[in-house]
Amino acid sequence: MKALVTANFDQGALSRLRDELDMEVEYAPIAERDGRLAEDEFHELVQDVDVLVVGYEGVSASIIDDAEHLTLIACARGGPDANIDIDAATERDIPVLYAPGRNAVSVADFTWGEILSAMRNIVHAHHLLHTGTYTGSPRADAASGGNREDVTWGMGQDSPYVRLKGPELAGKTVGIVGMGAVGREVAKRAQGFGVDLLGFDPYIDAESMAEYDTEKVELDDLLGRSDVVTVHVPVTDSTRGLLGHEEFELMSESAYFINNARGAIIDQDALLEQLQSGGIRGAALDVYDMEPIPDDHPLLDLDNVVTTPHLAGAAEEVIERHSTMLVDDIEALLAGDRPTHVANEETLS
């Protein structure tokens, strides 16, 4: 049995494919290339492949048709329909395995980093130092009248201590839009900050949210009551454009907005207007409606926005986690057992 692995994969998991499942494995990870495989090269590679493990390669109907021996597709993502034609795979009775929640811990960690960075101006202060705004001639002792040295940047109206002052988290309300795997991990990490949690998710009941000390509310209520709103939903027909002009208008002028999900979930122009006008105090964004974000985009000119290049899920442990999840399910399927995560369950029959 031959396997082609184009996803970034853990060496231990590759060894399991070779040694325990007796596969001939060709490993061509995307991290060792400039990007996705060219379509003609991908077509050639899949010709005699039985098991295909992908990360971001597009597995179209034509790719599936060319892979005459293909019996199994595994995708190292939480949403395999983003790059795999699930319908075409199903027509061929090819199960599509995937790895939901593989980066939930990573994204949750990143979310709290962004919340703190936005509220306490950590990233902006870093930028100001590196661009020379608050550098200068050091003073050995900036205090006077006391019994010890006390070196500071100064306390006047133009000092960083005054200009970059931000609010504490304790006592604030954090609204989590989407209480799936990521949202629940965000809620877990909230406990040490002394915040109150609100959650909006039509698919999660109030009792389940209460297990994470989160009050289930409707979206409008969450937006109106939250000091921080953080979004963790997938892009679907019901979530595309979920937050637009009317929704952002509901947020307080002192509120912060965090998006580590997908740019398509919000109306980015509506958010930009609120940030420029003072309708909300700040934001932290890891995703955009165009990626990479254009170098002349107005979001990059705003001091009250933390911008990162789609990094929330990019923790080192994620590769090991999705590799283990996929190989466990591949092993189960080959042994005649039911895999844990399969996108087209009808193929299992």
Q: Does some domain include residue 154?
A: no
Q: Kindly state whether residues 85 and 170 are assigned to the same domain.
A: no
Residues 6+ positions from 210 with CB-CB distance below 8 Å: 216
Where residue 22 falls (left for φ over 0; alpha for ψ -120 to 50; beta otherwise) is left
Task: Name the band, by pLDDT with cuts 50, 70 and 90, for residue 142.
Answer: low
Residues 6+ positions from 125 with CB-CB distance below 8 Å: 134, 160, 164
Q: Does some domain include residue 248?
A: yes
Domain count, the chain: 2
The CB density around residue 325, as the number of other CB atoms within 10 Å, is 22
Distance CA 234, CA 299 (A): 23
Q: Kindly state whether residues 284 and 137 are assigned to the same domain.
A: yes
Are the C-beta atoms of 137 and 114 separated by less than 8 Å?
no
Q: Kindly state whether residues 114 and 240 are assigned to the same domain.
A: yes
Q: Are strands 51-54 and 72-75 parallel, antiparallel or unpaired?
A: parallel
Q: Kindly state whether residues 54 and 180 are assigned to the same domain.
A: no
Residues 6+ positions from 278 with CB-CB distance below 8 Å: 253
Task: Name the band, by pLDDT with cuts 50, 70 and 90, for residue 39.
Answer: confident
Helices 104-119 and 316-334 cross at an angle (nearest 10°) of: 160
Mean pLDDT of the chain: 95
Are the C-beta atoms of 177 and 231 separated by less than 8 Å?
yes
Q: Kindly state whether residues 10 and 128 are assigned to the same domain.
A: no
Residue 58, token pair as written in the block: 């597009």
Q: What is the DSSP annotation of 129-151?
A: HHTTSS-----S----SSSS---
Q: Kindly state whether residues 269 and 322 are assigned to the same domain.
A: no
Q: Kindly state whether residues 196 and 290 are assigned to the same domain.
A: yes
Q: So what's the pLDDT on residue 143?
A: 64
Q: What is the pLDDT of residues 238-296, one digit of tens each?
A: 999 999 999 999 999 999 999 999 999 999 999 999 999 999 999 999 999 999 999 99
Beta bridge partners of 2: 24
- CATH of residue 81's domain is 3.40.50.720
Distance CA 10, CA 12 (A): 5
Q: Does some domain include residue 8?
A: yes
Q: So what's the pLDDT on residue 147?
A: 76
Q: Kindly state whether residues 179 and 238 are assigned to the same domain.
A: yes
The single residue listed with the structure tokens 């963790």 is 232
Beta bridge partners of 175: 198, 229
Distance CA 97, CA 21 (A): 17
Distances from the Cα of 302 to the Cα of 164, 282, 297, 306, angstroms? 14, 9, 10, 9
Are the C-beta atoms of 265 and 231 separated by less than 8 Å?
yes
Q: Which residues are catalytic?
A: 262, 291, 310
Neighbour-count burial of 176, counting CB atoms closer than 10 A to its CB (0-12 exposed, 13-18 middle, 19+ buried): buried
Distance CA 160, CA 97 (A): 51
Are the C-beta atoms of 19 and 36 separated by less than 8 Å?
no
Q: Kindly state whether residues 277 and 133 are assigned to the same domain.
A: yes
Q: Does some domain include residue 152?
A: no
User: Taking 90 as the threshold, does the pLDDT of residue 148 lie above it?
Assistant: no
Domain limits at 98? 2-102+316-348
Task: Name the band, by pLDDT with cuts 50, 70 and 90, for residue 141.
Answer: low
* Of 94-98, 104-108, 125-129, 150-154, minimum mean pLDDT range: 150-154
Q: What is the pLDDT of residues 48-70, one digit of tens each?
A: 999 999 999 999 999 999 899 99
Q: Kindly state whether residues 273 and 207 are assigned to the same domain.
A: yes
SS3 27: strand
Residue 45, token pair as written in the block: 């590679």
Q: Kindly state whether residues 216 and 235 are assigned to the same domain.
A: yes
Where residue 310 falls (left for φ over 0; alpha for ψ -120 to 50; beta otherwise) is left
SS3 345: helix
Q: Kindly state whether residues 187 and 278 are assigned to the same domain.
A: yes
Are the C-beta atoms of 94 and 235 separated by less than 8 Å?
no
Residues 6+ positions from 277 with CB-CB distance below 8 Å: none
Q: Does some domain include residue 150?
A: no
Say what the pTM is.
0.94
Q: Does some domain include residue 185?
A: yes
Distance CA 79, CA 55 (A): 11
The single residue listed with the structure tokens 């509120």 is 255
Share of residues in the chain with pLDDT > 90 (%): 92
